[in-house]
């Protein structure tokens, strides 16, 4: 397999784009594409200040890396959730986030939930009895609240998260299975600011997860491989696996699923019943069934025609 740009040995092959690239050209292609998506979806402008939610994983660190390479003013925000899970999850993810910031001369804000509110996420979850044993409901609530608070307090124009196509397609799949109209209408690459809420953007939403893994590895970014221990067995992961099966049988299915959804939403077709033309129907003079064709209905005309031709 050869790189389409230079003819050298390809190191990444993207079946869904029918595109193979060498490492060097892949590392150019990802930021170029990201820039294209930022413009296409009107995410932010050059003079705006961006706060990147950083978790220490490959997606958020890659996003930060790409925005910095593109010359955007992007600072990071790490939220200390206080999750250990036997692997020191929060500790390690914070260490890697800080390491990335230091090595690249980037500014990282660190907010520790326990330091700020007296309890870690798992403890807050137990106390509040939300979410049936898993702290994810409390965690999601706290993350949204804190990211928004810090963006507002520190004067950032926009909040950026590292959600990739696999994440977005899985959420879309879940929302579709439940026909959650409200969520479907809010899902997309950009959630505009609305009273008290900062604008939220997802610049990586069109990249497959494995494209981001390839990027992080090629850039030599050190990230935490483990997922949060509470993610195991989640519905989200189940949906991802289902979509991966679909994708392996039909390369590009995931991207099409997401992009066609964005198109339908933009054109206003989603959940709007089309006005089917019932007007101007009249009875066919031959069979009496309703028809919009002038004179005979299409069926009678076909039969007529067949008669004439076989006479
Ligand atoms: S919600 Fe749940 Fe995640 Fe919070 S507790 Fe872990 S898995 S980090 S995306
Ligand atoms: Zn090349
Ligand atoms: Zn509040």
Model confidence pLDDT, tens digit, residues 256-285: 999 999 999 888 777 766 554 555 788 899
- What is the pLDDT, as a whole number, of residue 121? 95
pTM, 2 dp: 0.89
- 53 bridge partner residues: 77
Residue 13 belongs to what H/E stretch?
Answer: strand 12-14
230 lines ligand 1 (CB under 6 A): yes
Of 145-149, 150-154, 269-273, which gets the smallest average pLDDT?
269-273
304 pLDDT exceeds 80? yes
**Domain 40-278 architecture:** 3-Layer(aba) Sandwich (3.40)
Give residue for tokens 């990147």: 52
- Ligand 2 centroid to 220 CA: how many Å? 18
Model confidence pLDDT, tens digit, residues 47-84: 999 999 999 999 999 999 999 999 999 999 999 999 99
Q: Work out whether strand 49-54 and strand 158-160 pair parallel, antiparallel, or are unpaired.
A: parallel
Please name the residue whose Cα sits nearest to atom 2 of ligand 1.
136
Q: Which of 139, 162, 174, 237, when mutated, tests ligand 1's pocket best, judged by the most ligand atoms within 8 Å of its CB?
A: 139
pLDDT band at residue 196 under the 50/70/90 scheme: confident
- Ligand 2 centroid to 195 CA: how many Å? 47
Distance CA 140, CA 299 (A): 58
Q: Beginning with the edge strand found earlier in the chain, give each strand of the sheet holding 158-160 in spatial order.
A: 108-112, 73-80, 49-54, 158-160, 199-201, 190-191
The three-class DSSP label of residue 158 is strand
- Could you tell me the two tokens for 109? 């804000």
Please name the residue whose Cα sits nearest to atom 7 of ligand 1.
231
Residue 58 φ/ψ, nearest 5 degrees: -65, -35
pLDDT band at residue 133 under the 50/70/90 scheme: confident
**Degrees (nearest 5) of the Cα angle 33, 34, 40?**
85
209 pLDDT exceeds 90? yes
Closest CA to 184 of 265, 274, 272: 265
104 pLDDT exceeds 70? yes
Mean of the per-residue pLDDT values for the chain?
Answer: 93
Residues 139/130, Cβ–Cβ less than 8 Å:
no
Q: What number does the ligand 1 atom closest to the CA of 234 have?
A: 7
Distance CA 305, CA 58 (A): 66
Residues 74/52, Cβ–Cβ less than 8 Å:
yes
Q: Which of 140, 232, 237, 240, when mutated, tests ligand 1's pocket best, judged by the most ligand atoms within 8 Å of its CB?
A: 140
Give residue for tokens 């990282």: 108
Residue 126 φ/ψ, nearest 5 degrees: -65, -45
Please name the residue whose Cα sits nearest to atom 8 of ligand 1.
228
The full set of domain ranges for the chain reads 40-278, 281-311
Residues 42/158, Cβ–Cβ less than 8 Å:
no
């Amino acid at each position: 397999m050869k790189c389409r740009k230079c003819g050298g040995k390809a190191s990444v092959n993207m079946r869904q784009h029918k595109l193979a690239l060498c490492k060097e050209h892949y590392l150019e292609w990802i930021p170029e594409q990201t820039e294209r998506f930022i413009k296409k979806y009107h995410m932010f402008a050059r003079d705006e200040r961006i706060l990147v939610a950083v978790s220490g994983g490959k997606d958020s660190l890659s996003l930060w890396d790409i925005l910095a390479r593109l010359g955007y003013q992007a600072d990071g925000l790490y939220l200390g959730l206080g999750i250990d899970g036997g692997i020191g999850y929060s500790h390690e993810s914070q260490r890697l986030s800080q390491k990335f910031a230091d090595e690249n001369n980037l500014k990282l804000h660190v907010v520790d939930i326990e330091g700020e509110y007296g309890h870690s996420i798992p403890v807050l979850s137990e106390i509040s009895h939300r979410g049936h044993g898993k702290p994810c409901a409390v965690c999601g609530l706290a993350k949204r609240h804190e990211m928004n608070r810090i963006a507002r307090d520190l004067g950032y124009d926009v909040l950026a998260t590292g959600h990739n196509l696999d994440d977005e397609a899985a959420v879309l799949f879940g929302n579709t299975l439940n026909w959650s109209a409200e969520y479907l209408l809010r899902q997309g690459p950009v959630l505009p600011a609305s009273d008290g809420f900062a604008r939220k953007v997802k610049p990586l939403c069109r990249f497959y997860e494995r494209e981001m893994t390839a990027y992080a590895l090629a850039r030599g970014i050190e990230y935490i491989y483990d997922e949060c221990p509470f993610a195991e067995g989640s519905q989200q992961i189940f949906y991802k696996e289902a979509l991966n099966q679909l994708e392996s049988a039909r390369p590009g299915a995931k991207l099409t699923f997401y992009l066609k959804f964005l198109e339908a939403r933009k054109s206003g077709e989603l959940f709007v019943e089309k006005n089917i033309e019932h007007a101007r129907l009249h009875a066919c003079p031959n069979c009496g069934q309703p028809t919009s064709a002038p004179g005979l209905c299409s069926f009678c005309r076909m039969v007529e025609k067949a008669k004439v031709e076989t006479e």
